[in-house]
Amino acid sequence: MPISDADGYGKGHFLRVYEDIIKPTIEKTEFTARRADEVKEINFIHLDILKQLIYEVPRHPKESRRIN
């Protein structure tokens, strides 16, 4: 999903899709919705995604390993 406006779509279309559909759906689970442009660290996007998958995905509903 683009994180900025794209040709052929109205201004703010993908932000609305994220805010109104994707984020609320994900937050009903044990996961946290986070767009790449919401990450304040300077890093490779792929590395951020892998860190989140490896260290923050709960192995059990009451267990979570967080990066500090």
Could you read off the pLDDT of 7-65 as tens digits, one per residue?
899 999 999 999 999 999 988 988 888 887 777 767 677 777 787 777 766 655 555 44
Q: Is the dihedral of CA 8, 9, 14, 15 positive or negative?
A: positive
Q: What is the pTM of this model?
A: 0.59
Look at residue 68 in the predicted model and tell me its pLDDT. Answer: 44
Look at residue 19 in the predicted model and tell me its pLDDT. Answer: 93
Q: Max Cα separation, the chain?
A: 43
Q: How far apart are CA 60 and CA 6, in angstroms?
A: 39
Q: How far apart are CA 47 and CA 52, in angstroms?
A: 9
